[in-house]
Amino acid sequence: MTVTVQQIKRISKWNIVSPKGFQAVGVHCGLKHKKNDLALLVSEIPASVAGVFTTNQIQAAPLQVTKQVVYETGKMQAIIINSGNANACTGKQGLADAYAMQQKTAEKLGIDPQLVGVASTGVIGEKLKMETLLAGIDMLQPTASLEGSIQFSQAILTTDTVTKNIAYQTEIDGKEVIVAGTAKGSGMIEPNMATMLGFITTDAKIESKHLQQALASVTDRTFNAITVDGDTSTNDMVIALANGLAENETLTPLHPDWEAFMQALHAVAQDLAKMIAKDGEGATKLIEVEVTGAINDVEARKIGKTVVGSPLVKTAVFGCDANWGRVIAAVGYSGAVIDPEKIDIQIGSTYVVKAGEPVLFSEQQLTDYLKQPEVKISIHLHAGAGTGTAWGCDLTYDYVQINATYRS
């Protein structure tokens, strides 16, 4: 999707409570040693809800609870999130604990438990410290302030080095509509989905079925277009809440401003996805792979994900080595339809391959380019009209160190 600048605008209040009627908070309750580890997001009224969840067949207890709210209730008013413990592979007790989180949060807010989602992130296979966590829920005092949103974005982090927040505004039926998002994710990033949690809020008025349609479409081209290490986690989800307080006419695909809403939603998701890729564990560089001329968009995205996910490509970028052979090899094993004699490859603005054959280039020029914090690889297939972009990061010594000592 091409984002039209005139229709959407990034706003300075880059936080999850920028849309009307949302509040958030994060606290340290004791699941982690010092940092915030418990977060709450609340809508003033029950909101339309959409969700996209991990494809890992082993799914953590919180996912089971939240999927029930999304698919059976179709509305959500709050979501409670803890970090430091994934509550995954914890059996019947883990599921009971997730329901206890839902029930306690509902009691705290005075709402129906079926309007409360649950999310967890952290170490797999350890039981939650429920006494500590439930006492933490009593501490939560959500607000519509910047401070509350910052606390929220901090409390959902695990190995992330930075918080990830963004917001865009657009106009629908002459009303200002804001779409905002917060995410976490640093390792085990191989959607569909990844070890990531994403929360998107909007004050647009839209029914859940159309919000689900919009979120699924956008996710395919954003959150599902990033990779850090090829692992798919057990806990991951993106949840979108739309409470309608902007008071626009109900959005549907036939609404004249549907495209403006889709562009804002896409921009939020894409920015968050790129932040996650850039903040990959131990990463020093964001890698963008743009593919054009594929037989269709799906094939283009497949090639992009394969190239950006290649350990050899990732280490070459880390080492500032313009080893384009690793790129073209990844194109070849991607499983997509290609003609090897038509492939062009650029690193930055420099062609290294044309029509499947090497091109003379300045090694020093490309070495200097590869030292930049963002690296772009362009692949032109000349096989069709399909396009796609994927994002990832380099693979460094620090990635091994972080994951070798994750539990200790």
3 in a domain, yes or no?
A: no
Shared-domain flag, residues 24 and 115: yes
Catalytic residue among 195, 201, 202, 222: 195
Tell me which of 247, 277, 307 is where a domain ends: 277
Please, what is the average pLDDT of the chain? Answer: 90
Cis previous bond, 275, omega within 30: no
Handedness of CA 100, 102, 103, 105 (dihedral sign): positive
Task: Kindly give the pairing relationship between strand 164-172 and strand 175-185.
Answer: antiparallel
Residue 2 counted as domain residue: no
Range of the domain at 249: 8-277
Read off the pLDDT of residues 345-357 as tens digits, 9 standing for 90 and up. 999 999 999 999 9
Q: What is the pLDDT of residue 2?
A: 43
Provide the pLDDT for residue 277. 83
Choosing from 223, 254, 277, the residue where a domain stops is 277
Q: With respect to residue 51, please indicate whether it lies within any of the assigned structural domains.
A: yes
Residue 106 inside a domain? The answer is yes
Please indicate, yes or no, if residue 32 is contained in any of the structural domains.
Answer: yes
Domain count, the chain: 2
| Geometric angle at alpha carbon 198, from 258 and 187, rounded to 5° | 135
Q: Are 297 and 334 found together in one domain?
A: yes
State how far the Cα of 211 lies from the Cα of 241, in Å rounded to an integer. 8
**Res 5 pLDDT > 60:** no
Same domain assignment for residues 300 and 264:
no
- The per-residue pLDDT for 322 is 94
Residues 246 and 291 in one domain: no
243 pLDDT more than 80 = yes
pLDDT at 182 over 90: yes
Per residue in 32-71, pLDDT (tens digit) is 988 999 999 999 999 999 999 987 788 899 999 999 999 9
Structural contact between residues 261 and 206, judged by C-beta atoms closer than 8 angstroms? yes
Q: Do 260 and 312 share a structural domain?
A: no
337 and 240 in a common domain: no
Would residue 173 count as lying in a domain? yes
One domain, residues 349 and 390: yes
pLDDT in tens, 364-399: 999 999 999 999 999 999 999 999 999 988 887 666
pLDDT at position 1 over 50: no
Q: Based on the domain organization, do 245 and 321 belong to the same domain?
A: no
The model's pLDDT over 292-338, given as tens digits with 9 standing for 90+, comes to: 999 999 999 999 999 998 989 999 999 999 999 999 999 999 999 99
**Are both 341 and 243 inside the same structural domain?**
no
Q: In what order do the strands lie in the sheet with 286-294?
A: 357-358, 350-354, 344-347, 374-380, 286-294, 386-393
* Residue 1 included in any domain: no
DSSP of 147-192? HHHHHHHHHT-SS-SS-EEEEEEEEETTEEEEEEEEEEE-SS--SS
Q: How confident is the model at residue 158 (pLDDT cuts 50, 70, 90)?
A: confident
Structure confidence at residue 187 as a pLDDT band (50, 70, 90): very low
Averaged pLDDT, 269-285? 83
Q: Any idea what the CATH number is for the domain that residue 102 is in?
A: 3.60.70.12
230 and 201 belong to one structural domain: yes
Decide if pLDDT at 107 tops 70. Answer: yes
Which of 277, 301, 330 is the endpoint of a domain?
Answer: 277
| Same-domain status, 100 and 242 | yes
pLDDT at 162: 86
Q: Which helix (H) or strand (E) holds 324?
A: helix 324-333
Query: pTM for the full model?
Result: 0.83
Shared-domain flag, residues 114 and 262: yes
Pick the most confident of 14-18, 150-154, 233-237: 150-154
3-class DSSP state of 195: coil
pLDDT for 347: 97
- List helix spans (H) across 89-129: 91-109
CA distance linking residue 87 with residue 71, whole number of Å: 21
Confidence band for 123, pLDDT divided at 50, 70 and 90: confident
Catalytic residue check, 143: no
Q: Give the pLDDT of residue 193.
A: 35
Element (H, E) at 118: strand 116-123
pLDDT for the residue numbered 245? 98
What CATH number has the domain bearing residue 332? Answer: 3.10.20.340
- Note the pLDDT of residue 130: 97
